[in-house]
A and B are shown apart, each in its own frame.
Chain A
Amino acid sequence: VKKYLFPYLTGLVVTFGVLTLVSCNKGRPKNTDLVSRAYQMIDAQQPGQAILLLERGLQEDPENPEYKRVLSSAYAHRAGFKVQKLVPILKSAQEFQRLQGQTLENSPEKEKVKALALDASSLVSKAGGLSEVFASIPAVQGPQVSDMIHAIEILSELGPELQPADAIFKVILEVILFKHYLVENLLGESPASSNKELENCQIQADLFIETFQTLSQLLIDIYSDLRIAHPSQTPQFERLTKETKESVKTALKTAQGISSLDKNSLLFLKFTLIKTGFGKVILCR
């Protein structure tokens, strides 16, 4: 009987061995799938390597949408973007929503204060909340900006292959870039230390127009991408796009008329710009 059963045991042991080898072999990274390898590189904080890999892949297969998607995310990662950085925005947005629901409208104080105070309180609350949301948007600087722009361009190249999730990702990158342009070119304190000094300062109308156009285009792109992600809200986004385009026209007309303003009007405009935080538009020599 032992002779009869010996082959069973031998077979089992041999099969164990074979499967072990198969299993060990499968355990090592195969590194055959380009997208998976790129994911690993990105997660290993090596987006540059992932970019090289994917660009090589795109040379062989230029229209591969998956390669483009991952390449875009690799550029975004090199620009400092990680999904973890969205947590502060989510939290401040949640807080903003919470504050919206906690205005004096529902408070026992409502009877004691005038409507004007209520409105002012609501506005301050909204402005404060929005300011927090704005501050929590990740910042980019230096070479990160061109990587961010490139990431957005790659997604734009997807054309009809752009999926709703890609559109949301693109919106996020565009918002980051929007903040960058706003902070870099417009937002800031006045370089003038006195009113007299301010009189000699110039309004950089060209910079204002250029930045305003860039920001408006980014906004229009954001609305367009949001339409892909939320098709049922298309009319709303179309309306916003139209309004933005009209604002650009109005702003251009205003900016072009700056040179014809008299001294007092110019000073008033400079004060207004400083008060609203657009100090960087004013150049003092």
Chain B
Amino acid sequence: VSLNRALPFILIGFAALTSQARTARTFETINSTLITKGLAHSCLALKILPDGLPCNPAMTSLRDRRSLRAQVLVSDGYNSIKNLQRIVDGEVTQEMVDGFFSNERTFQIDASTDLMYRSQEMNVQLTPLAIRGFAEIRNESSPDIDLFTVEEKGLRFQTGYQFSEEFLLGFQVRVLNRKVISQHFNLFDLGTEAGQKILEPTQQSILYLEPGATFLLGQEWSPRISLMLANLGYVSRRNPGVPASVEPQVGFGISPPVLEGTLDLLVDYSSLSFQEQGADRLHLGALYHVNEFYYSAGIDAHGTSGGIHYEHRHFNLGLLFSTTRTLKEKETLDSHNLYFQIGLEI
């Protein structure tokens, strides 16, 4: 039992120790909360996600109370992306450019605002604005740049029903509007005729209808299998730089008893970037809840993450550390990121 109790802390420490591993907790098509990122997105079999809508809509009916929540998530790196945009716009200073080439050469941003209504019958999430971006610059003589930026607005609706003690079913509807830039280019491309359109965003209108189911396999340790068919629906304009195909996802979770609080151990098999192959789609996470604190830890082929989330009455606050690394083949650059989330709930 003492091992169970120590496990989340070991995992968080482990996340920090292995911070050189490749990771990404920010993906082009995924708008996720702090705890979800902390779990390496292994949340399909999580019964109640404290800071968001359940990853699988089938879990909707497991919620025991209604609430209205507003929260903001932001990662570090905001200044870097802002500076990158200024350079692209021609507002250049020597310090700014020197800074780009003297730091880590990878820049990442993840920022979102969400409004949520959650209940036993249905969940609704309104995302007025979410911005995600990643840039990597290599070779300061003739810079080679990988860049993606996504600006997203969306509405997510979930409902679900528990048909028996063992079986839950649900579905979610996602309506999204995205502006996407996803390019790999040389900086000098911007000075060419053909390169004038490199930074023009693709606009996407998206409607997804995603069913999910969960099988509860027993009482003790609460083993469960969770299934979902993701990205099923309509996309107005496909962008090869932001792949998102229909995907069956599966998750498994248990909640072993601990002396104090609750512990969830979770495994998901799902794609986040749609570039992973085979075992790279495995994501493992642990969520330990004690008193007003949630400790999350996650690991997958992208890397590691560890976070703390605090909920006190109407107020909540969270901090997450993760490593980010581009998924382009044979890359070796890492960057480390902090995510911060703050919210109010009534």
Contacts and interface: CB of A to CB of B under 8 A. Distances in A.
B241 to A, nearest CB: 18
B193 A5 contact: no
A247 interface: no
A5 B254 contact: yes
> Which applies to chain A's interface (DSSP): helix, strand, loop or mixed?
helix
B157 to A, nearest CB: 32
Which of the listed residues A23, A28, A32, A230 has the most CB atoms from chain B within 10 Å of its own CB? A23
Contact of B140 (A1, A19, A84): A84
B22 interface: yes
Contacts of A16: 284, 299
Interface residues of B, number: 54
A215 interface: no
Interface residues of A, number: 57
B14 interface: yes
B254 A8 contact: yes
B192 A84 contact: no
B142 A73 contact: yes
Which of the listed residues B20, B97, B332 has the most CB atoms from chain A within 10 Å of its own CB? B332
Contacts of B259: none
Contact of A43 (B22, B90, B101, B191): B101
Contact of B223 (A8, A15, A27, A168): A8
Contact of B188 (A8, A88, A168): A168
Given A15-B284, A39-B138, A165-B195, A26 B22 contact: yes
Which of the listed residues B97, B188, B218, B331 has the most CB atoms from chain A within 10 Å of its own CB? B188
A91 interface: yes
Interface in B147-195: 185-189, 191-195
A45 to B, nearest CB: 9
A26 B330 contact: no
A5 B330 contact: no
A22 B300 CA distance: 9
Given A12-B254, A232-B193, A24 B21 contact: yes
A20 B188 contact: no
Contact of A2 (B191, B220, B282, B329): B220
A5 B223 contact: yes
B84 interface: no
Contacts of A20: 14, 18, 299
Which of the listed residues B140, B220, B282, B299 has the most CB atoms from chain A within 10 Å of its own CB? B140
A50 to B, nearest CB: 9
A121 B332 CA distance: 55
Contacts of B303: 23, 27
A36 interface: yes
A31 B300 CA distance: 22
Interface string B12-28: 00100010111100000
A24 B299 CA distance: 11
B334 interface: yes
Interface string A68-90: 01101110110001111001101
Interface string A230-269: 1110000000000000000000000000000000000000
Given A27-B20, A94-B90, A164 B195 contact: yes
Given A23-B300, A87-B93, A73 B279 contact: no
B11 to A, nearest CB: 8
B189 A164 contact: yes
A5 B218 contact: yes
Nearest to B93: A87
Interface in B326-342: 329-332, 334
A76 to B, nearest CB: 5
A58 interface: no
B76 interface: no
- List the 4 shortest-distance A-B pairs measured between CB atoms, nearest first: A27-B21, A33-B330, A164-B192, A73-B142
12 contacts: A31-B332, A36-B332, A38-B139, A69-B142, A76-B141, A76-B142, A87-B97, A91-B92, A164-B195, A168-B189, A169-B186, A229-B192
Given A72-B142, A165-B189, A230-B192, 11 more contacts: A12-B267, A16-B299, A22-B279, A23-B22, A26-B22, A28-B20, A31-B332, A39-B144, A73-B142, A165-B142, A232-B193
